Structure 1
Amino acid sequence: MIENNYFLQNEDLVQHFEFLIDWEEIVNAFELGFLDKQEYDKTGKEEFSMAPASKEEALEFYKSVLESAGELAGIEISPIVQKMDIEGLKYKEGKVEFPQVMINAVNKVKEAGILPYSIGRKHGGLGLPCSVQAMLMEIFSRADGSLAIALGCMNLAETIERFGSEEMVETYVPKMAAGELCGAMALTEPNYGSDLPNLQTRAIKGEDGVWRITGAKRFITHGCGFADKPSIILTLARTGSPTSGARGLSFFLVKSEDVYIAGIEKKMGLHCSPTCEVVYEDTPGILVGEEGYGLVKYSMAMMNGARLSIAGQAMGIGMAAYGEAKKYAEEREQFGKKIQNIPAVRKMLELMDREIIAMRAILQEASRSIDLYHWKSERWKEQGMDEREIKKEESIKKWEKLANLFTPLSKYYITEQANRIAFDSLQIHGGAGYTYDYDISRIYRDVRITNIYEGTTQLQVVAAIGGIVTGLSAKGILRQYLDEEMNSFSPSKELSENREKLERSHELYLSLENGENKDEVAFELVESATRVIIGVVLERGLKKLDGTAREKRADLVRAYNLDSSALLEYNKIRIENKKTKVLA
């Protein structure tokens, strides 16, 4: 693995932090008048001691966390990940054993004070906006996907913070922030993968008032906990009738010591991430929130966060693949020259380069949308503002709709491109890349799951298509967003033409009356919309740069929009052909 500071020596990531992110709007929305600092001044509570009092202090704190994470991931953890992968996990009689090198790595993150990155300050966490959390997930995932997942599971406390009772929050969240508990999401069942409305694990409330759960869950990451740290398993179970669908599902907190781990999957990648089969037999569970809202409210909120985390994970693994390809091409000599100078190889590297900036652009725009609605609304709720009134606020409505669209778009786009980059990186390595001697073989195996779990690419298209179709209507939120953003700079000819192609594809899609016909070309419309959105974000960022940095990035952005032009034309033709067949 390349060994350097994965933040400071990542030029595009640093550019985002220093120039491309509008920290004024992010910090204003997230810190909301620096309430945590006011609380510290008022009470002297230690958990608020690091709370910033200004935008400058906030940025100094965010950057220090990223620099520390970059050093840990790139210098201390990256050299040991091959050993972690080879050693892997061991399972015996319901217990999972982790490699000591991985336990040491997690402990280093804990000792550095970075572990509780998504947990609120009042419960012992760092209290970081999503824009920074996404960077952290990328940084740690670049070192190792399994490690990043473990850290992410330890940060699942956010779901409890948001929906749990006061007693539940006080009992479990501080322990997760301290690294004493892990977290797990238990949604999938052996016969019900993405078909969550029909899952059959049952929860029955006894005369003693205790809910007891019976059933089995499959593919549950860290259902076993981590090392000597047990998990609290956030479990979706049926409290209604067997045919009650989504409205018959409720959400429970279950302790891992109360379930049986029947086994772990033997996977092609992520060898240090335990994918467990969890068996519940009259297992006690604590109801989270209200009965009947398990899927439609709590699980969906948790899944949206998880999907953005997987986008960040794929971003990091994709960056690792690109870095390894670039390094190998700079060093490997064939036909009397470095292979980076062979046109076919150079073409592959250039495509990776522009896709990396595109992936990071959509990841950060999705994170921005969450910071501008979710954290702001949560802060208002903490101040006692009525939730119904918050939802009426125009900026909250706008950014919530955009977050619900950008989240599946980023998950689909980044995971697909990361897989492509890893594929091409292995190709650049040639036969050597197919051996375990080079890190790309592990990277290639690890990235493959990212466009499958937490909802396949095909399901992300289903999740996004409605938001694109309605969003591009005359008064749709996506149309408003594109208009506002493109009015803030002078769009290139390529970007303007791509927007026109998207509009035409949208019209053609709407003209298809049969739902099945629309389904067959939904991906084409989603891909077209995603590339236009990314093109807008990339060109918007150019106005914040100057000199050589701007020139270099402008070349990449123009090349990206030219790639998009060809793809949008292809997608438009595909939708046209579907309409022609329907009329024939």
Structure 2
Amino acid sequence: MISNNYFHDNEDLKDHFDSLTNWNEIVEAYEENFSDYNEYQKSGKEELAYAPGNFEDAIEYYKQTLDACGDISGKNISQVAKAMDEVGLKYKDGKVTFPKEMVDVVEKIKAAGLLPYGIHRHYGGLGLPSVVQSMLSEQVSRGDGALAITLGCMNLAETVERFGTDEMIHEYVPKMAAGELCGAMALTEPNYGSDLPNLQTKAVKGEDGVWRITGTKRFITHACGFNEIPSIILTLARTGTTTSGARGLSFFLVHSKDVFVASIEKKMGLHCSPTCEVVFENSAGILIGEEGKGLIKYSMAMMNQARLNIAAQAMGIATAGYMEAKKYASERIQFGKAIDQIPAVKKMLDRMEREISGMRSILYEASRAVDLYRWKEERGKMNGISEKEIKKDEEFKKWEKLAGLFTPLSKYYITELANTVAYDAMQIHGGSGYTEDYDVARIYRDVRITNIYEGTTQLQTVACIGGIVSGMSETGFFRAYLKDEMSQFAVSSELKDLWTKFETVVKEFAEIDKSQLREELAFEVVESAARFHISLLMERNIGRAKVNRRELRKSLTESYILDSSAILESNLTKIRGKKKVLVNA
């Protein structure tokens, strides 16, 4: 793997930090008039000592964090990724053993103060907006996708922070921030993968008031904890009858000492990410939030954040693939010249660069949407404002809806394109890439899961389609957002044409009254939405970029819009063709 600072050597990522991100709105939304700093001045709480007191300090704090993470990601994590992958995990009698290289690098991350990146300052975390968290996760994932999952699980405190009691929060979240607890999400069961409303793991409340959980969960990452660190397992279990569906499910916190890890999966990739089968047998559980809202409220909130994390993971792995392919192509001599000078190879590299630029644009826009609503809810809770009052805020409602759409949209798009980028990266390496001598083989294996776990692309399509169709109505929230964004820059004729095509795709689809055909054609609409949205973001970003980067951005954008125009035209042809067949049937 390339050894470098993964923040400094990534010009596109640096552009987003230095020029393309509207930090004024992010800082205002997250820092809330620098309330943490002001509280520190009054109380002297140690955990708030590094809270920024003004805009410039906030930006510098975020940048220093990313710089430090980029250094460890590129000079430490990436350099042991191959060794970790080769050693892998060992399982015996319910215990999972991790490679020494992995344990050592996690300790290095912890010593650098970077471990609790997703946890609030109030509980010992770094306190970073979602945009910065996504940038950080991308860098770590470029170093190694499996280790990024480990760090993500060690930051899995969001659900407890948002929905737990004060007692629960103060008992568990500071321990996660200190690296004394890992986290795990236990949703899936052997016979119920994505069919969560019908899962069978049972929770019964005893006469002593303690909930006891019995059942088996499969594909549970880090249910075994990490090394000697135990996990708190956020578990979905049935408290209602077997026929009560989603309304009969509740959410629990279960300690890993109270379950048995029956096995770990032998996987194609991510060899250092433990995917466990877990047996609950009268395991003690602590109810999170209200009974009966486990799936419809708490699990869905947790999964939405997890999907954004996987998008960032795929973004990082794709970047690794592109960077490794670019380096290899510049050094590999064939026919008397480096292969990056061969038109067919150059075309592939150009496409990879273009797609990665688009992927990064939608990732950070989805993160922006989260930042512009979520912290009102979190800070409101800290300040004693009721959830009902918070949800009356029009800006809150707007960005909550947009985040609800952009999260599955970015998860689908980035993970699918990350697979394409990794495929091309291996192709550029030729036969050498098919061997384990080059890192691209591991990159290719690791990225393959990203468009499967935390909801397949097909499930993300289901999650997106309603919001796109209703959101594109005359008064819809998505249309209003797109129109507002386009009003802020001089829209090219090519983007205007693409907008017309996108509107037509949605209109033609909305006219279909046969549910089976709508389900069959939903992907074409979702793909069209993603391609238009990213085209808009890329064109918007040209004017925001530094002067010396604008020509490159303009070139990438024009190429992306041209490709998108062909894709939307194809999707429109498919929709019209299927409708014609239906009419003639």
Range into which the TM-score falls when normalised by the shorter chain: over 0.9
Q: Secondary structure at the match of 2:220?
A: strand
- State the match for 1:234 in structure 2: 234
> 2:401 and 2:395 mapped to 1: Cα distance?
10
- State the match for 2:176 in structure 1: 176
Deviation at 1:175, TM superposition (A): 0.4
- State the match for 1:218 in structure 2: 218
CA offsets per residue over residues 126-153 of structure 1, 9 Å max, x none? 1100000000110000000110000000
Q: Is the 8 A contact 2:34 2:53 kept in 1?
A: yes
- State the match for 2:583 in structure 1: 583
- Residue type at the aligned position of 1:496: K
Q: Report 1:4-83 matches (<5 A).
A: 4-83=4-83
> 1:389 and 1:13 mapped to 2: Cα distance?
37
- State the match for 1:371 in structure 2: 371
Q: Secondary structure at the match of 1:543?
A: helix
- Residue type at the aligned position of 1:54: N
Percentage identity across paired residues of the two chains: 63
> 1:446 and 1:138 mapped to 2: Cα distance?
14
- State the match for 2:454 in structure 1: 454
- Residue type at the aligned position of 2:99: P
Q: Secondary structure at the match of 2:214?
A: strand
CA offsets per residue over residues 342-361 of structure 1, 9 Å max, x none? 11111110000000110000
CA offsets per residue over residues 450-488 of structure 1, 9 Å max, x none? 000000000000000000000000000010011000011
CA offsets per residue over residues 402-428 of structure 1, 9 Å max, x none? 000000000000000000000011011
> 2:545 and 2:228 mapped to 1: Cα distance?
48
> 2:303 and 2:488 mapped to 1: Cα distance?
33
Deviation at 1:158, TM superposition (A): 1.5
Deviation at 1:333, TM superposition (A): 1.1
Deviation at 1:251, TM superposition (A): 0.3
- Gaps of at least 5 residues in structure 1 are none
Deviation at 1:196, TM superposition (A): 0.2
- State the match for 1:406 in structure 2: 406
- State the match for 1:122 in structure 2: 122
Deviation at 1:332, TM superposition (A): 0.6
- Residue type at the aligned position of 1:467: G
> 1:156 and 1:75 mapped to 2: Cα distance?
26
Q: Report 1:130-141 matches (<5 A).
A: 130-141=130-141
> 1:455 and 1:360 mapped to 2: Cα distance?
20
> 2:481 and 2:542 mapped to 1: Cα distance?
18
Q: Secondary structure at the match of 1:269?
A: coil
- State the match for 2:533 in structure 1: 533
> 1:217 and 1:224 mapped to 2: Cα distance?
12
> 1:47 and 1:169 mapped to 2: Cα distance?
15
Q: Report 1:345-424 matches (<5 A).
A: 345-424=345-424
> 1:536 and 1:32 mapped to 2: Cα distance?
29
- State the match for 2:261 in structure 1: 261
Q: Is the 8 A contact 2:19 2:546 kept in 1?
A: no
> 2:213 and 2:379 mapped to 1: Cα distance?
34
CA offsets per residue over residues 253-275 of structure 1, 9 Å max, x none? 00001100000000000000000
> 1:18 and 1:424 mapped to 2: Cα distance?
29
Q: Secondary structure at the match of 1:233?
A: strand
Q: Secondary structure at the match of 2:26?
A: helix
Deviation at 1:381, TM superposition (A): 2.5
Q: Report 1:328-347 matches (<5 A).
A: 328-347=328-347
Q: Is the 8 A contact 2:147 2:273 kept in 1?
A: yes
> 1:158 and 1:27 mapped to 2: Cα distance?
20
> 1:545 and 1:355 mapped to 2: Cα distance?
18
- State the match for 1:542 in structure 2: 542
> 1:485 and 1:383 mapped to 2: Cα distance?
32
- State the match for 1:320 in structure 2: 320
Deviation at 1:336, TM superposition (A): 1.6
Deviation at 1:537, TM superposition (A): 1.0
CA offsets per residue over residues 369-414 of structure 1, 9 Å max, x none? 0000001221122222221121111100100000000000000000
The 4+ residue runs of structure 1 with deviation greater than 2 A are 545-548
Is 1:97 aligned with 2:122?
Answer: no
Q: Secondary structure at the match of 1:51?
A: coil
> 1:312 and 1:496 mapped to 2: Cα distance?
30
- Residue type at the aligned position of 1:360: R
More off after superposition, 459-468 vs 486-495: 486-495
- Residue type at the aligned position of 1:72: I
Is 1:154 aligned with 2:154?
Answer: yes
> 1:192 and 1:136 mapped to 2: Cα distance?
33
> 1:193 and 1:240 mapped to 2: Cα distance?
20
- Residue type at the aligned position of 1:9: D
> 1:381 and 1:202 mapped to 2: Cα distance?
31
- State the match for 1:244 in structure 2: 244
RMSD: 0.7
- State the match for 1:440 in structure 2: 440
- Residue type at the aligned position of 1:556: L
Q: Secondary structure at the match of 2:271?
A: coil
Q: Is the 8 A contact 2:376 2:390 kept in 1?
A: no
- Residue type at the aligned position of 1:503: E
- Residue type at the aligned position of 1:272: C
> 1:419 and 1:69 mapped to 2: Cα distance?
25
Q: Secondary structure at the match of 1:278?
A: strand
> 1:581 and 1:545 mapped to 2: Cα distance?
47
Q: Report 1:429-508 matches (<5 A).
A: 429-508=429-508
Q: Report 1:180-195 matches (<5 A).
A: 180-195=180-195
> 1:365 and 1:38 mapped to 2: Cα distance?
29
- State the match for 2:524 in structure 1: 524
Deviation at 1:546, TM superposition (A): 4.3
Deviation at 1:578, TM superposition (A): 1.1
> 2:470 and 2:566 mapped to 1: Cα distance?
25
Given the two structures, how large is their TM-score scaled by the length of structure 1? Answer: 0.99
Q: Is the 8 A contact 2:214 2:281 kept in 1?
A: yes
More off after superposition, 531-540 vs 257-266: 531-540
Deviation at 1:539, TM superposition (A): 1.1
Deviation at 1:78, TM superposition (A): 1.0
> 1:421 and 1:447 mapped to 2: Cα distance?
10
- Residue type at the aligned position of 2:384: G
> 2:379 and 2:255 mapped to 1: Cα distance?
29
Q: Secondary structure at the match of 1:424?
A: helix
Is 1:108 aligned with 2:123?
Answer: no
> 1:470 and 1:19 mapped to 2: Cα distance?
33
More off after superposition, 228-237 vs 572-581: 572-581
Q: Secondary structure at the match of 1:193?
A: coil
- State the match for 1:563 in structure 2: 563
- Residue type at the aligned position of 2:92: K
CA offsets per residue over residues 316-362 of structure 1, 9 Å max, x none? 00000001110111011111211111111111100000001100000
Deviation at 1:9, TM superposition (A): 1.1
Given the two structures, how large is their TM-score scaled by the length of structure 2? Answer: 0.99
- Residue type at the aligned position of 1:412: Y
> 2:69 and 2:359 mapped to 1: Cα distance?
21
Q: Secondary structure at the match of 2:250?
A: strand
Q: Is the 8 A contact 2:142 2:318 kept in 1?
A: yes
